[in-house]
Structure 1
């Protein structure tokens, strides 16, 4: 993990087309602005993790349903 120190208004570049700007930092909160192409999906990690968990559960449910259909024939 790369750790950088930035002040309000300063920016970090990732590749050619992603910029992360520190909008404000106070107390225990940092507000960031992200400029990226529309093709780049940007999610908070807890939301990303929740989606992954739901997808895994849905996959298990479908597999279970298919197994039940096979045994009923």
Structure 2
């Protein structure tokens, strides 16, 4: 992990397209402004992790759905 110190109003540039600017510092809270192309998704980490978990849950087959599918594939006589 790269660690940088920045003051209010200072900016960090990532790959010519993304700029992080320190807008304010109040106690333990730092406000960061982010300028990036529209195709770059930007999330707070807790939101990103929640999205990943929801995607995993929706992609995983539910046991009841799997049992129903097996029953249909076997046909009505089995």
SS in 2 for 1:57: helix
Consecutive aligned runs of 4 or more in structure 1 exceeding 6 Å deviation = none
SS in 1 for 2:25: strand
Q: Mark the structure with the bigger radius of gyration.
A: 2
- Cα deviation for residue 72 of structure 1 reads 1.6
Q: Distance in 1 between the 2:26 and 2:15 partners?
A: 28
2:68 paired with 1:72: no
- Cα deviation for residue 46 of structure 1 reads 0.2
Tell me what 1:24 maps to. Answer: 24
- Cα deviation for residue 59 of structure 1 reads 1.3
- Cα deviation for residue 69 of structure 1 reads 3.0
TM-score by length of structure 2 reads: 0.84
Which runs of 5 or more residues in structure 1 are unaligned?
Answer: none
2:34 paired with 1:40: no
Tell me what 2:75 maps to. Answer: none
SS in 2 for 1:21: strand
SS in 1 for 2:23: strand
Q: How many residues align?
A: 70
